[in-house]
Amino acid sequence: MTFIQFLEEIEQSQQTAIIAGPEVERLAQRFGSNVRGMGLWNSTGDGSVEVPMGNITEAARRLGNQALTSAVEQLRFSGQFTDMLGTSTAAGQLIEALHDLYLEQFQERVQRYQDSDDAADVERLRHEISRDLFGA
C-alpha cells in the first residue's frame, strides 16, 4: 500500500478522533475559539470535539513535512501530545488548518443544500448543517 492509498483509506473510513471537553477548553484558552471549530463540537453535551480522521490527514498535508517533523520532535520529547500543543507553533498551525477544513466542508454542504433538487439529499444535508450549527 502506498502512502497516498493509506491516507485515502483513513479518509474514507469515516473515523473520528475525539478531544475531550476539558482538553478542548484548555486548548481554547491557549489557541482561541478555533479549537472548537476543528470538528463537530458537542456544545450541549460534554464539550468534546469530534475531528474527522480525513481532516487530520489533509491538515498534515497542508502543513508540510517541516512543520510535521517539528511537531513530531516536540511530541517525542514532551511525552504528551497536550504538552506539545501548548508550546508548539506547529500545533497552532495544525489547529488553524483543521478549523479551515471543517469550515470549508460546512460551506460546501450549505452550497449543495441550496443547489439540490433531490428531497432526500436536501433532508440529509439539512440534518448535517443543523448538527454542525447546534452541536451533537
pLDDT digits (tens, 9 = 90+) for 74-117: 545 544 454 545 555 677 788 888 999 999 999 999 999 999 99
Closest by CA to 39, choosing from 12, 67, 62, 59, is: 59
pTM, rounded to two decimals: 0.68
Closest by CA to 88, choosing from 98, 78, 97, is: 78
Question: What's the average model confidence in pLDDT over 114-136?
Answer: 87
| pLDDT band per the 50, 70, 90 thresholds, residue 23 | confident
| Integer angstrom CA distances of residue 16 from 19, 55, 70 | 10, 9, 24
